[in-house]
């Protein structure tokens, strides 16, 4: 297995608060990794550091053996690391179709390998609309979409960049319980088509268990557990600090 993404001694602190403490992870190509942890544990911070929204206080980030520390989100995106957002970041005054058109258009013009991959923009948009089941909303304004669909579109936008590494920040937050799996199925289906490494932040442990090969558990900016989902989810510390199981100590 080739490692695609690696962080070495990553630290980030806002004044007194430590959002990331000495994080060392390396992610293998085509793996699906779940990031778990209570709010403020450092999951989103990790994504923000990798994608260049935040600059680390110390440490470095490497992508395919290239140091990408200090690059801007734009540069990192162009290299093939795309992300979605906890709060969907859409073009509110544009339709679903136009949103994707903008996304695909940029990708085709700015991302080296995506540019090569995308032959026909309209075709690409069509494919995305099909895969994410957005046909019914095609010409609706993003501002008028139901929350679940907004999530889908937000992810579709990230996928439009033909990413090599895709980071999803709470893809199922704000989505009704019964819809969560349908959504995740759809996303994973869509991704199967193109070999993609996926990291996603998730609070629902069933989802984590079902979709991931590997889980990183965050607590106060540190990674307190890293491994097979089953193993990690059994880990006492994880049960105590992440899942919030009060009887954890008794076992």
Q: How far apart (Å, rounded) are the C-alpha atoms in residues 71 and 55?
A: 9
Spatial separation of the C-alpha atoms in residues 103 and 127, rounded to whole Å? 13
Contact indicator for 149, 179 with CB cutoff of 8 Å? no
Member of 61, 68, 90, 196 binding other proteins (CB under 8 A): 90
Q: Please pick, from the candidates 24, 26, 55, 92, the single residue that binds other proteins as defined by CB under 8 A.
A: 92
Q: Which of residues 153-182 bind other proteins (CB under 8 A)?
A: 157-158, 160-161
Sheet (strand 165-169) strand order: 81-83, 165-169, 197-201, 32-36, 214-219, 222-227
Contact between 110 and other proteins per CB under 8 A:
yes
- In angstroms, the Cα distances linking 74 to 80, 81, 162 are 10, 10, 14
Applying CB under 8 A, which of residues 26, 58, 89, 194 lies at the interface with other proteins? 89
**Per CB under 8 A, does 74 bind other proteins?**
yes
| Minimum CB–partner distance for residue 79 and other proteins (Å) | 9
111 binds other proteins (CB under 8 A): yes
Least distance between other proteins and beta carbon 128 (Å): 13
Closest to 107 measured CA to CA, from 163, 24, 69: 163
x/- mask, other proteins, residues 186-225, rule CB under 8 A, reads ----------------------------------------
Q: Give the residue, chosen from 77, 127, 172, 212, that forms a contact with other proteins under the rule CB under 8 A.
A: 77
What lies within 8 Å, CB to CB, of 247 at 6+ separation is: none
CB nearer to other proteins: pick between 113 and 240 = 113
User: Is 227 in contact with 215 (CB distance < 8 Å)?
Assistant: yes
Dihedral sign, Cα of residue 15, residue 75, residue 149, residue 205: negative
Residues that bind other proteins (CB under 8 A): 48, 51, 53, 72-74, 77-78, 82-83, 85-87, 89-94, 98, 101-103, 105-107, 109-111, 157-158, 160-161
């Amino acid at each position: 297995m080739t490692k695609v993404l690696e962080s070495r001694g990553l630290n980030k602190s806002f004044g007194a608060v430590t959002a990331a403490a000495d994080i060392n992870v390396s992610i293998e190509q085509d793996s699906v990794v779940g990031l778990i942890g209570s709010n403020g544990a450092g999951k989103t911070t990790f994504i923000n550091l990798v994608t260049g929204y935040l600059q680390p206080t110390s440490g470095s980030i490497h992508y395919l053996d290239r140091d990408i520390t200090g690059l801007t989100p734009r540069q990192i995106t162009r290299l093939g690391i795309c992300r979605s957002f906890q709060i969907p970041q859409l073009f509110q005054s544009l339709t679903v179709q136009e949103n994707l058109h903008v996304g695909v258009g940029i990708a085709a013009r700015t991302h080296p390998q995506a540019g090569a991959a995308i032959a026909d923009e309209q075709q690409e948009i069509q494919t995305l609309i099909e895969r994410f089941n957005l046909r019914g909303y095609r010409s609706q304004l993003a501002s008028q979409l139901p929350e679940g669909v907004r999530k889908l579109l937000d992810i579709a936008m990230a996928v439009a960049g033909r990413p090599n590494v895709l980071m999803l920040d709470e893809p199922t937050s704000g989505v009704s319980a019964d819809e969560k799996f349908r959504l995740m199925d759809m996303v994973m289906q869509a991704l199967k088509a193109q070999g993609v490494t996926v990291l996603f932040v998730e609070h629902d442990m069933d989802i984590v268990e079902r979709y991931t090969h590997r889980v990183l558990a965050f607590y106060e900016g540190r990674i307190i557990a890293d491994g097979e989902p089953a193993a990690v989810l059994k880990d006492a510390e994880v049960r105590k600090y992440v899942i919030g199981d009060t009887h954890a100590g008794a076992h």
